Structure 1
Amino acid sequence: MKLLKPALLAAVLALPLAVPAAQADTPAELLVVAQNIDDIVAIDPAQAYEFTSGELVTNTYDRLVQYDAEDTTVLAPGLATDWAIDAEAKTITFTMRDGVTFHSGNPVRADDVAFSFARVVQLNLTPAFILTQLGWTPENVDEMVTADGNTVTVRYDGDFSPAFVMNVLASRPASIVDELTVMANEVDGDMGNAWLNANTAGTGPFTLTAFRPAELIRMEANPAYFNGAPAIEGVIIRHVAESATQQLLLESGDVDIARNLTPDQVASLEGEGLRVETFPQAAVHFLSFNQAVESLTPPAVWEAARYLVDYEGMTNSIIAGQMEVHQAFWPEGFPGALTDTPYSYDPERAAQILADAGVDLPITVSLDVINAAPFTDMAQSIQASFAEAGINFEILPGTGSQVITRYRERSHEAMLLYWGPDFMDPHSNAKAFAYNSDNSQDAYAATTTWRNSWAVPGEMNEMTTAALTEPDPAAREEMYLELQRRVQESSPIVIMFQASYQVAMDDAVSGYVNGATSDFVFYRLVEKS
């Protein structure tokens, strides 16, 4: 493996955090990133659960199947080249890719896969639930995941679509680790956990060569990567907590990418040869009406509301660069997302809808909102635009915990909030926005439907359940598209926006990929001209 030149590496690590008098340039062979990385608690794939640790795991490990840099919407072969699904028997048999080695030089074996999955279940750290939902336990995991030669057979217990199971196996804790290296570094039965929180033992396009918490991440290119060696020799991620300092370092040429600039700083970027790219993120923002409030139950109120949000006005001003118009519950950038945006600001049409339905006006309703930008600004925009049709909001600002507590108690009237998927499968959000089989007060469910007291129509509940178990991927995707259309057209939840993430970079940088979650941040295709 090619090593970074010592003098070059020393020069990079010595780059100052203050702006020098003269323009600097980062080394051509390296990508230098300014980013706040102090969220990292763990980097062991069996424990990593933070945003930045997710990025690190994605760039240093592989999974049997995975969403990759070339197209983050396609579930592609990873360490497995092909697989056979038996939905009736609830098994998937994977054929391992030949000739792949870990960064240590050890060959990748089917036994490493079985070990990696069992290790997550047995350690039972934060992200273990993603794998254990397949019915795996410390007692049965050795029977549920078995290796035989160059094949791995995965068994699951539950009424799941195989597509759902495949998405589980593409998740972060399903990353494959080098059993021989990990167990050689085991201490007191920790299965190498302490060692893997300072090192990596994967097969990914980069290998970790330095990790200093809240200071530095250094990754070196893996020239033997099975999908092709990265174009750059390495990546340096420098911890820079202050966004203003990130801006100065980018403008001075000391870094190639600044990851945490505010919208105001993005707007004030100075210097030729800089650009900003915007990437949709997974969180969707919505306005919802509690169906325990009688004046908010007419479907005409829901329909009119969709024409009373000034979508373009907000995205062009108060949330510019932070959100983009998105009107379906599954975020753009994931397979199965509905990207149609049929609603626009039209107060005359809204007023006519209310009049035709004979809705008694005016309606006065309290609106809970987190007392922070941009939420309070969004609430004021909604207050002004809805008033034009006779719906008057009284804004109730509160801390995040206060607002969410009221939401969970169903004690709100209207709510301005956001929702992110727990897991990268459409069912994660479908169960939140399109399913509620028991609307009783004592049947608490962590969903937007239950929290808004919306008794979802039985047909929609049945479709949500059927989509979870549908074995045909194309048919399953169409079911989720239809569920999104139904919620979009008629529900007390008005989905308005999807969060966006702005990344500022030097024009010399190309190929940077920042998908909708931290697990979809890739440096493998980056080039510097």
Structure 2
Amino acid sequence: MKKVAALATLLTLTTALAVAPKDTLVIQESADIPTMDPGVTYDTASGAITENLYETLLTYSGASLTKLEPLLATKWTISNGGKTYTFDLRKGVKFHSGNAMTCADAEYSFERNLVTNSAESGNWFISESLLGTGANANDDKTITWARIDKAVECNNAGQLVFTLPAVDPAFLAKLAYTGQSIVDSKHAAKIGEWSGKEADWKAWVGKDLTNSNLSKQPSGTGAYKFVRKDANAFLATAFDGYWGKKPAIKNIVIQKVSELAARQQAFLKGDADLIEGGGRAVDEEQIKGKPGVVWQDGFPSTSATAFFMNENIKATGLLGSGKLDGKGIPANFFKDANVRRGFSYAFNYDQYIQDVQKGKGKQRTMLLPDTFPGYDAKVNTYTFDAAKAKQFFQRAWGGQVWKNGFVLTANYRAGSVPSQTAMEILKKNIEALNPKFRVNIQAKQWSEMLASSKKGEEAMIVIGWAPDYADPDNFMYTFYSSNGYYFPRNNWKDTQVDKWLEQARNTVNTAERNRLYSLVGKKAYEQAPYILMPAPVGYSFMRDSLVGADQKSFNPMISFSYTGTFWKELSKK
């Protein structure tokens, strides 16, 4: 009890921006934490937590995007023509509850992900591997308990065995994603989660785990154990029973601080070790070169970001009059490709690169990192061209858009300076085209924007994608397929693009996959479903007292992107 009381006191002090002790890592960011349940973790804010409280079978080796090494597994074999994977599991591992980790926990974890799978849970890609479909049993009636149970089992030797319906060259990489972490099955069942048995599996199919009991009371095998969380702060402490090397830093405090200036002040004073910055231009001016700051530059960018233009806006509160009468927009406003092209030509990409990225940015041809296979640098791109924007708006909706005007309400993540600046650039240029054009922009909490956009209720937002696993399918299918994760947020569909993407994910021929992705890129340029944001050159900054985060160890596949490594690898001097 004394220990809990002391930690609670620490949380209160650090929330008040007390000086960060040597045994405590203090992080400040603008986003809240949507969930701590690995089964539904599918955003970086949540992933940064779960990947440190929980562990996966495999993890990335150092800074490599392709080399994997054992974590909770010790070794594995592949047989049956590449369709059977057998894992030996680490012995002597304990969960934070004190329960010993067994093969049954690993089997439960994957079966739970298959049972509760939904498009928003992040388990669709493991379901595709193990069941041959990204759907759940509610949406695909061929999925039975027998199929789920057969896909992942423990054999008599206590090994975990996966049986795939078809070869999947990305399967091992998928297992390294934090959403595939091993959870404490006894603890989960005790607090009211799925029992792990056939008797109640149907009641859990597709269930939203965001606010699950496991999210409120996590129990993983990670080096850090959850202590408490409220609306403004999160606290974890080193797990005494951790099977691996004892972490050098005892306490982790993450504070939600919406105002960038407050985060900067705390960082420069040493009250915070790491903070969410404000984009390169702001960070170079306010942070770089200041006393006590370590700045690292030149990281490759493995994320992709875009303006989403929703073709089926389901929130009537954002539509104004709901008509093309100059007082609002209809729900299908962005359905006309001429509207989307007009917006694409109205964004000043070069200005964004200069204002936000301080000249260190690159306009991509498609929503795929240029370091990934399948990227085609020859696909055309949009440039800022007011005359062309005007031409397309004059054509849009038979001339009604230009004649009557519109009022559009667009939201951006509260506290995100890059997103806010992008919105301001677009607003200024759109409104300069026609006095009847109006774009209202407003900040919105990250968890709220995720939830509303998931329901198709946002008209226009800026949102990005960080890879779950290092394969082009994870970006191209996500953004461009009508079966992809982001489809409900954009509602853009092209049957030919869907066909190409399905073909690309069903062949191991790299040249053919590259050809198909190039075709998708060209079609997307023509149809303009997104406004592609310039990709930054990666950088990081931290207090010089922090040790263990450098470019040699930085891995962009780790959600905790401020350092690109796990908390357990860090120390303070």
TM-score per shorter chain, which class? 0.5 to 0.7
Q: Counterpart amino acid of 2:37?
A: D
Q: Which residue of 1 aligns with 2:274?
A: 257
1:421 CA drift (Å)? 7.2
1:253 CA drift (Å)? 1.4
Q: Which residue of 2 aligns with 1:39?
A: 33
What root-mean-square deviation, in Å, do the aligned CA atoms of Structure 1 and Structure 2 show? 5.4
Question: Contact 1:286–1:416 at 8 Å: present in 2 too?
Answer: yes
Whether 2:391 is the aligned partner of 1:397: answer no
Aligned-partner Cα distance in 2 for 1:426–1:393: 42
Q: How many residues matched?
A: 474
SS of 1:197's partner is helix
Question: Contact 2:84–2:162 at 8 Å: present in 1 too?
Answer: yes
In structure 2, do the counterparts of structure 1 residues 77 and 463 end up closer, same or farther at CA, with 3 Å as the change threshold? Answer: farther
Q: 2:160 aligns with which of 137, 152, 155?
A: 152
Whether 2:94 is the aligned partner of 1:102: answer yes
Aligned-partner Cα distance in 1 for 2:86–2:435: 55
Question: Contact 1:333–1:516 at 8 Å: present in 2 too?
Answer: no
Aligned-partner Cα distance in 2 for 1:486–1:86: 38
Deviations 1:350-403 (A, max 9, x none): 99xx9xxxxx99966569672663344332576599x8xxxx8974425689xx
Question: Contact 1:99–1:107 at 8 Å: present in 2 too?
Answer: no
Q: 1:70 aligns with which of 63, 76, 88?
A: 63
Aligned-partner Cα distance in 1 for 2:294–2:338: 48
Aligned-partner Cα distance in 2 for 1:18–1:484: 50
Q: 1:216 aligns with which of 234, 245, 255?
A: 234
Q: Which residue of 1 aligns with 2:215?
A: 197
Q: Counterpart amino acid of 1:95?
A: F
1:176 CA drift (Å)? 0.8
Aligned-partner Cα distance in 2 for 1:496–1:28: 42
Deviations 1:404-437 (A, max 9, x none): 99x989xx9xx89656479656335424665579
Q: Counterpart amino acid of 2:421?
A: P
1:62 CA drift (Å)? 1.9
SS of 1:54's partner is helix
Q: Which residue of 1 aligns with 2:351?
A: 313
More helix by proportion, 1 or 2?
2
Q: Which residue of 2 aligns with 1:142?
A: 149
Deviations 1:273-313 (A, max 9, x none): 2256687474422598999769789xxx99xx999964333
Deviations 1:19-64 (A, max 9, x none): 67xxx5x443442223456434x42323545643321111122223
SS of 2:569's partner is coil
Aligned-partner Cα distance in 1 for 2:548–2:436: 46
SS of 2:190's partner is coil
In structure 2, do the counterparts of structure 1 residues 419 and 111 end up closer, same or farther at CA, with 3 Å as the change threshold? Answer: same
Whether 2:85 is the aligned partner of 1:93: answer yes
1:186 CA drift (Å)? 0.5
**Structure 2 counterparts to residues 96-495 of structure 1, below 5 A:** 96-99=88-91, 101-103=93-95, 108-122=101-115, 127=121, 129-130=123-124, 131-133=126-128, 134-135=130-131, 139-140=145-146, 141-148=148-155, 149-156=157-164, 162-180=168-186, 182=187, 186-187=190-191, 191=195, 196-204=214-222, 206-214=223-231, 215-220=233-238, 230=247, 232-243=248-259, 244-259=261-276, 266=283, 267-269=285-287, 271-275=290-294, 280=301, 282-285=303-306, 310-317=348-355, 319-320=356-357, 324-332=361-369, 335-336=372-373, 338=375, 340=377, 370=410, 373-379=420-426, 395-398=437-440, 420=465, 426-431=472-477, 446=488, 451=492, 455=494, 458=496, 461-471=498-508, 478=514, 482-483=518-519, 486-487=522-523, 492=528
Question: Contact 2:546–2:570 at 8 Å: present in 1 too?
Answer: yes
Question: Contact 1:33–1:237 at 8 Å: present in 2 too?
Answer: yes
Deviations 1:143-180 (A, max 9, x none): 221111243222345xx761354454344432112445
1:249 CA drift (Å)? 2.0
Q: Counterpart amino acid of 1:33?
A: I
Q: Which residue of 2 aligns with 1:496?
A: 532
Aligned-partner Cα distance in 2 for 1:295–1:461: 21
Q: Counterpart amino acid of 2:50?
A: V
Aligned-partner Cα distance in 2 for 1:510–1:284: 30
In structure 2, do the counterparts of structure 1 residues 427 and 505 end up closer, same or farther at CA, with 3 Å as the change threshold? Answer: same
**Structure 2 counterparts to residues 2-41 of structure 1, below 5 A:** 13=11, 15=13, 17=15, 24=19, 26-36=20-30, 38-40=32-34
Q: Counterpart amino acid of 1:284?
A: T
Aligned-partner Cα distance in 2 for 1:347–1:197: 44
In structure 2, do the counterparts of structure 1 residues 483 and 517 end up closer, same or farther at CA, with 3 Å as the change threshold? Answer: farther
In structure 2, do the counterparts of structure 1 residues 94 and 272 end up closer, same or farther at CA, with 3 Å as the change threshold? Answer: same
Q: Which residue of 1 aligns with 2:570?
A: 526
What is the TM-score when the length of structure 2 is the normalising length?
0.63
Aligned-partner Cα distance in 2 for 1:6–1:262: 37
SS of 2:78's partner is strand
Q: Which residue of 2 aligns with 1:440?
A: none
Deviations 1:470-490 (A, max 9, x none): 246x56864575456545776
Question: Contact 1:285–1:418 at 8 Å: present in 2 too?
Answer: yes
SS of 1:162's partner is coil
Q: Counterpart amino acid of 2:267?
A: L
Q: 1:515 aligns with which of 551, 556, 565?
A: 556
Aligned-partner Cα distance in 2 for 1:494–1:10: 45
Aligned-partner Cα distance in 1 for 2:268–2:379: 40
Q: How many percent of aligned residue pairs carry the same amino acid?
A: 17
Aligned-partner Cα distance in 2 for 1:78–1:483: 39
Question: Contact 1:73–1:335 at 8 Å: present in 2 too?
Answer: no
1:71 CA drift (Å)? 3.3
Question: Contact 1:310–1:345 at 8 Å: present in 2 too?
Answer: no
Unaligned runs of 5+ in 2: 138-143, 197-208, 312-332, 413-419, 443-448
What is the TM-score when the length of structure 1 is the normalising length?
0.67
Aligned-partner Cα distance in 2 for 1:320–1:174: 34
Question: Contact 2:106–2:182 at 8 Å: present in 1 too?
Answer: yes
SS of 1:113's partner is helix
Aligned-partner Cα distance in 2 for 1:417–1:165: 30
Q: Counterpart amino acid of 1:207?
A: Y
SS of 1:469's partner is coil
Unaligned runs of 5+ in 1: 355-359, 438-444
Deviations 1:325-365 (A, max 9, x none): 341444439854738488789889x99xx9xxxxx999665
